[in-house]
Amino acid sequence: MAFVPGCEHDIFVSYAHVDDLPFPGTEKGWVTVLIETIRVLLAQKLGRSDAYSLWMDHQLSRHVDLTPEILKHLQGSATVLVVLSPGYLASEWCLREKDSFLASLGDSPMAGSRIFLIERDKVDYQERPPELEDLLGYRFWIQEGEGQPPQTLGVPRPDPSNPRDLAYFDEITRVCSNLADLLKRLRSAGADNAAATAAGGAAPAAGATAVAAAAAAGDDRPAVFLAEATDDLDDAAGVLRRNLEQAGFRVLPETWYPRQPDAFRAAVDADLAASNLFVQLLSALPGKRPEGMPEGYVRAQYERAVAAAAPVLQWRSRDLDPASVEDAEHRAFLESETVMAVGLEEFRRAVVEHAEASVGAEADDAKAATDLDESLVFVDAEPGDMELAAAVGDALEKRGLEYTMPLPGGSPEEVRQDLEQNLMGSDAVVVVWGSASPRWVRNQILLLRKIAWKRAQPLKAVALVQGPPAGKEALPLGLPHLLTLDCQGGFDEAALAPLLAALEEPS
């Protein structure tokens, strides 16, 4: 029986058969051993061995296509545990499983968080499928030096007496802790749905759809922003992240940030806005300083936190003497008054104390801001339709709504980043269709839908304003929630009424 109400299974394991071939002298493959360990630890965290349902297909090599039975198990699962590797990327079967699961979640704003990414081997981010490229995975591999080949932990079998494999067991513990926390939240949301049904409300959805609905409730744990650190601090950052999660905090970021400077800063700003405290680990290394970001990734995160008036706590090892650092700017940074030169455990306690103290103050601020909340609408259009887009924006402004439009010009990558930033920061989207080609309009709507799964909250509305010239045919799309507003005879503010009504509905 599943732990999450309305689901057939709590966990579906998606992996490539080649990653589970037993090594010579062993009876079980790497994936099988991993999952058996997860079964035990997760049962301990949920209270009983039969408290949850995990499904794994051990006959992958015998299938050619996804069978109806496999699809049923997949789409009826609360979460998917993906074992990422070159073998996974080469498996059409695995990629179909990923697509089928995400499709079953529909427009859920937190679809990506239903996927637990087990990194069996190093896979460069640009090689990942778009839906997985931003996920922070659980790293079961190490790379002992620049230019050295990555090594998978637990090969040929995990050994608790091997110091290197301690990281293997740490990561499994982290996977199970986060899985247990998520399943408990989804179970609670499912119970609330059942109570609403008993009281005469609508029946709760089943399977993955129920999970998507539960996810929309969001994660209300207080959040700590743990800044991206230099590579030499990966282990320390991992320990601190696990400690904070065990203390009941949500740790941001939950995705990898893009490397382009403006996009990096925008992603940092978005997570800072949801955080109670900014925490940063510093070493003698200043970190990378890409073109367009002379301050570097490490310093940029701190400066964004200061600009956002976030409480700041920084750490460096008590064994690190700033005087030994050759880079003068970084040396001064290490000597900042917000930097604590203490043991990591002492710093962790300070972080927890400061985070707990800031939760109450942020809650008061959020309550005070509720009455001032205004919807922001992104009005998207091709350059040739900007006049019509401006008319839509003016009509929204008259009704006290804020709006934003695409920036003119730029490379394809800059245009995509601008589109994503507008979508992530808006409450609703209006796509303007005047002289633009039907292909552009359809592709734009599909791109917006693809990006929307990353949002913490769903869009209140997505609308298509059809302007002159008249005679437009329906787009080949089946999106029942798309509001189509007909202004082919000339722009009419009254046509925006369905959009305005959607924006007035409570979130």
pTM: 0.51
Residues 6+ apart with CB under 8 A from 492: none
Return mean pLDDT, the chain. 82
451-455-460-464 Cα dihedral, nearest 10 degrees: -10
Does the structure show a pLDDT above 70 at 151? yes
Token output for 369: 């801001």
How crowded is residue 204: how many other Cβ atoms within 10 Å of its Cβ?
20
Token output for 504: 């007035």
Instruction: For 9-215, give the CATH class.
Output: alpha beta
Domains 223-370 and 374-504 fall in the same CATH topology: yes
pLDDT in tens, 91-104: 887 888 888 877 76
pLDDT in tens, 219-255: 567 889 999 888 788 778 878 887 788 778 888 887 7
133-134-137-142 Cα dihedral, nearest 10 degrees: 70
Q: For the chain, give the percent of residues with pLDDT over 70.
A: 84
Q: For the chain, give the percent of residues with pLDDT over 90.
A: 35
Beta-sheet strand order (sheet of 312-316):
250-252, 223-226, 277-281, 312-316, 339-341
Mean pLDDT check: name the lowest of 193-207, 255-269, 276-290, 457-471. Answer: 193-207
What's the pLDDT band for 313 if we cut at 50, 70, 90?
very high
Residue 320 to residue 53: CA distance in whole angstroms: 48
pLDDT of residue 183: 87
**Could you tell me which residue, 399 or 83, shows the higher pLDDT?**
83
Cis peptide before 294 (omega within 30 of 0): no
- Of the candidates 150, 152, 305, 337, the one whose C-alpha atom is nearest the C-alpha of residue 227 is 305
Instruction: For 374-504, give the CATH class.
Output: alpha beta
The CATH H-level superfamily of 223-370 is Toll/interleukin-1 receptor homology (TIR) domain (3.40.50.10140)
The one-letter code for the residue type at 247 is: A
pLDDT in tens, 366-396: 443 333 346 899 999 999 999 999 999 999 9
Does the structure show a pLDDT above 50 at 418? yes
Residue 52 to residue 39: CA distance in whole angstroms: 9
Structural domain boundaries of the chain?
Answer: 9-215, 223-370, 374-504
Residue 224 to residue 215: CA distance in whole angstroms: 20
How crowded is residue 261: how many other Cβ atoms within 10 Å of its Cβ?
16
pLDDT in tens, 428-463: 999 999 999 999 998 888 887 777 666 667 788 899
